[in-house]
Amino acid sequence: MKKSLFITLLLLIAFSSIALAAPVAKALVDSTPESAVLENIDQWVIAHPVQEGAISRADTIFKSPRGQVRLVVNKPGPGDGRHIHMSADEIVVVYKGKGEVYLNGEWTPIKEGDVHICPRGVTHAFRSNEDMWLVSIHTPPQVGGDDKIWIDR
């Protein structure tokens, strides 16, 4: 009796842990990274400083055939210039800082909490008054990793 109760208890624990594990449809996973992540932007910026003399830093933290997420820090200054994307729409969330975005032919103030949505083929750019931290989402990912056509270069 005790033995069968013990085996039943072990089976319940074993099957409970399987049922409680996060289900993953491995055949569908085609992203980098291959599992869910939680990224703290404040900690990321400290761990990934902009190099001396550079105007910005952008690192891809997620990429799949359907989208790409990059964390970006722009230093104060004129930015990297007006450009269009040939293959990707871009959504940019200002996490910290303020500056201007080139929006529909005009420089427009942008600040913490703002979201900039730019369809592919539309000219845009950023320039900042202070360090500006951005979350940039491209959908689909930029062809070749960078599909920009520069207007000002």
Task: Look at residue 15 in the predicted model and tell me its pLDDT.
Answer: 53
Cα–Cα distance measured from residue 127 to residue 81, given in angstroms and rounded to the nearest whole number: 8
Question: Which CATH superfamily, name and number, covers 41-150?
Answer: Jelly Rolls (2.60.120.10)
Q: Quick one: CA dihedral 116, 120, 121, 127, positive or negative? A: positive
Task: Look at residue 134 in the predicted model and tell me its pLDDT.
Answer: 97
Domain boundaries, the chain: 41-150
Strands (E), the chain: 56-64, 67-74, 83-85, 89-96, 98-103, 106-111, 115-118, 126-128, 132-139, 148-150
Task: Look at residue 99 in the predicted model and tell me its pLDDT.
Answer: 97
Task: Look at residue 19 in the predicted model and tell me its pLDDT.
Answer: 53
The secondary structure element, H or E, covering residue 16 is: helix 2-20
Task: Look at residue 12 in the predicted model and tell me its pLDDT.
Answer: 46
CA–chain centroid gap for 23, Å, is 24
Do residues 94 and 129 lie in contact, with contact meaning Cβ atoms separated by under 8 Å?
A: no
Task: Look at residue 6 in the predicted model and tell me its pLDDT.
Answer: 54
pTM: 0.82
Task: Look at residue 23 in the predicted model and tell me its pLDDT.
Answer: 80
Task: Look at residue 153 in the predicted model and tell me its pLDDT.
Answer: 79
Taking the chain (153 residues) in consecutive chunks of 10 residues, what is each chunk's mean pLDDT?
58 51 82 92 96 95 94 94 94 97 96 97 96 96 86 86
Q: Which two tokens stand for residue 23?
A: 């289900």
Q: Which two tokens stand for residue 31?
A: 């992203």
